[in-house]
Amino acid sequence: MAASKNGAPKKPGAPEPNVDNRRARFEYEFLERFEAGVVLTGTEIKSVRTGQISINEAYARVRDGELWLLGMHIPPYKEGSFSNHEPNRPRKLLLHKREIERLAKGSAEKGYTVVPTRLYFKRGRVKIDLALARGKKLWDKRRVTKEREAIREMAREIRRH
């Protein structure tokens, strides 16, 4: 066990949740990735640590030079009181000004959007991976599925011989 600053052994905590948006990988082709901080309230952090959050329907928009995450669902904290948060409220994302400008310019083009791909903790802070993405067409999805099946078939043949 590792020791804390005062010399006492650290207690092993609950594993930090890693929320992955697998649906986004299927629906979109990622062009550029960014890591952003998320501004949350106290009860939201506690609820995130339980791992009951959903980023499948979430997307980001630039408003007044700031980046906002819309559609992310964080359920109310069970032990929270009157100060509990609203589950689907817009949440501010923290990025450098240049990165926000790049995302704003990219998402302004037709067919492009900013989607969250993963939510995780980094040094006690909630971070979210964003991707500037273009929606895949049906034939793109079929091609990816066909390639994946071909790779699996080759691996099976190699194992047989």
> pLDDT tens digits for 87-115?
788 989 999 999 999 988 888 888 888 99
What mean pLDDT value characterizes the chain?
83
Q: State pTM to two decimals.
A: 0.73
Mean pLDDT of 35-58: 85
Name the percent of the chain lying above pLDDT 70. Answer: 88
Q: Is residue 51 domain-resident?
A: yes
User: Residue 144 has what DSSP assignment?
Assistant: H
Residue 55 lies in a domain: yes
Q: How many other CB atoms are found less than 10 A from the CB of residue 90?
A: 14
Residues 6+ apart with CB under 8 A from 144: 136
pLDDT, residue 1, reads 52
Q: What is the pLDDT of residues 126-155, one digit of tens each?
A: 899 999 988 877 777 788 889 999 999 999
Whether residue 92 lies inside any domain: the answer is yes
Q: Which residues of 22-50 are buried (b: 16+ CB within 10 A; e: fewer)?
A: eebbebbeeeeebebebebbebbbbbbbe
The CATH number linked to 103 is 2.40.280.10
d(CA 153, CA 136): 25
Domain count, the chain: 1
The whole domain housing 107 covers 19-136
Residues 48-71, mean pLDDT to the nearest whole number: 87
Q: Which residues pair with 70 in a beta bridge?
A: 59
